[in-house]
Amino acid sequence: MAILLAMAVAFLSQEAQATVAPVLHQRPILASPIYPSAIYPAEDGHAVATWKRGATDFPAEATGFYRFRDDAQGVRIISHDGEISGYLLKFGKGTSDRDMVLGYDFSEVAGTRNQIYFTTRQVHGIWYGFEGQVVPHRGLNHDDQANYILQGTLTEHDEAQQTTQSAAIRLRYEGSH
């Protein structure tokens, strides 16, 4: 029995030495000339940003889901007690996740009035950054209720390929459901 215990301890110590410790990579800090110090780290697994009170509050009626042209992809902006969080839904691009919708939680969020800036957590080596605005938009008929457009630049960062790709996006508000 003692021999088995000694062999197990020796095996486990070799395993511990052979294991490479994970390394965290520092992302660039999200900054803006409009709101340079608005970066707040994620707390309890949720990204948060406390927006200035008063005239710079993010409009509560603009929180909700903004959809790309297909039904599966989009951005959800959530507001709770002056804190903004959310996530991005995009199709995977790797061989193992191609055509699967992946969720990218916001890791950093900032903004003023209708401006919003966010970065997402990394999923399968890819993360996103967004800088843009929420713009009020009326329908074609005067009876249509006002809704919003999320427009700006979405940048994809691929850690494995060491590439970034930016695209101008314009997403229509789909409501708070």
State whether residue 152 is helix, strand or coil. strand
Would the pTM of this model clear 0.85, i.e. be above it? no
Tokens of 134: 């929420």
Q: Quickly list DSSP for 77-107.
A: EEEETTEEEEEEEEEB-STTTBT-EEEEEEE
Provide the β-strand partners of residue 118. Answer: 109, 130
Categorize the per-residue pLDDT at 142 as very low, low, confident or very high, splitting at 50, 70 and 90. Answer: low
Instruction: Identify the residue with better confidence: 47 or 98.
Output: 98
Domains of the chain: 30-175 (2.40.128.30)
Segment 64-71 shows an average pLDDT of 88
pLDDT digits (tens, 9 = 90+) for 96-111: 888 899 999 999 988 8
